[in-house]
Amino acid sequence: MPDRFFITGTDTGVGKTVASALLCAALDAYYWKPIQTGTRKGSDTKTVLRLAGIPREHAFAEAYTFAPPVSPHLAARLAGVRIDLRRIQLPRDTNRHSLIVEGAGGVLVPVNGTLLMVDLMKQLALPVLLVARTSLGTINHTLLSLAALRAAKLDVLGVIMAGKENRENRKAIEKYGGVRVAGWIPHLRKIDRAALVRVYERRFDAKVFAA
């Protein structure tokens, strides 16, 4: 079966979308963002298609989209709807293709009045990759996120770090988090398919993503 991964993060704006685009480019994967907020400024699907250089038919439609750039539960409430996880099922025919699924916000962001993003991860039952910053504070945020993922009995494949290289933070996350750092995405002046594939080849542990 082709590889399929759920991309989550320690926070919003941490680099999940760039990491998703990188994996789509490097693994020739399809992309799916089940819940999208902030569509006033565009969508992560359009960003991934552009950065990864993949065709539009390699992305699946979102289950829910909302205009305000706020938490899914609030965006849904403002729209007068409730996000129903039963409506969010893996797209058909994904067994034939590698697939990158990107969450919204962090691990414990609420999606409705009772459920969190981690509940969507449990429902989809995909191996999880956690995107974390390299900067000050990342150790605490990453360890807390890992604890939440493990409490939910999810399969955590590894951490992807994004930002200026920080070897001490990387070592601390691996030691205290009991996890491998599967890759590092440095600051890129230009982000396109070629640049992302180069980062994967140079900065990622391909064994983590092997079929």
* pLDDT at residue 40 in the model: 87
Average pLDDT of span 129-145: 98
Give the pLDDT confidence of 47-57 residue by residue, as tens digits. Answer: 999 999 999 99
Tell the residue number behind the tokens 């919204």, with chain if given. Answer: 104
Domains of the chain: 4-209 (3.40.50.300)
Tell me how far apart the alpha carbons of residues 182 and 59 are, in angstroms, rounded to a whole number: 24
* pLDDT at residue 92 in the model: 80
Give the three-state DSSP class for 76. Answer: helix
Query: What percent of the chain has a predicted confidence (pLDDT) above 90?
Result: 91
Tell me how far apart the alpha carbons of residues 181 and 160 are, in angstroms, rounded to a whole number: 6
Give the pLDDT confidence of 159-198 residue by residue, as tens digits. Answer: 999 999 999 999 999 999 999 999 999 999 999 999 999 9
* pLDDT at residue 209 in the model: 86
The DSSP secondary-structure symbol of 41 reads G
Of the candidates 154, 27, 41, the residue with the CA atom closest to the CA atom of residue 145? 154
The two structure tokens encoding residue 8: 């989550």
The two structure tokens encoding residue 7: 């991309």
Q: Which amino acid is at 59?
A: A
CA atoms within 13 A on the CB side of 106: 16
| Strand-pair partners of 36 | 65
Give the pLDDT confidence of 91-135 residue by residue, as tens digits. Answer: 987 677 899 999 999 999 999 999 999 999 999 999 999 999 999
Tell me how far apart the alpha carbons of residues 72 and 86 are, in angstroms, rounded to a whole number: 16
Catalytic residues: 33
Average pLDDT of span 142-163: 98
Give the pLDDT confidence of 72-81 residue by residue, as tens digits. Answer: 999 999 999 9
pLDDT at 1 over 50: no
* pLDDT at residue 95 in the model: 73
- b (16+ CB within 10 A) / e for 11-29: beebbbbbbbbbbbbbbeb
* pLDDT at residue 97 in the model: 87
Tell me how far apart the alpha carbons of residues 206 and 159 are, in angstroms, rounded to a whole number: 13
Higher pLDDT, 73 or 1: 73
Tell me how far apart the alpha carbons of residues 124 and 120 are, in angstroms, rounded to a whole number: 6
* pLDDT at residue 94 in the model: 67
Give the pLDDT confidence of 7-54 residue by residue, as tens digits. Answer: 999 999 999 999 999 999 999 999 999 999 999 888 999 999 999 999
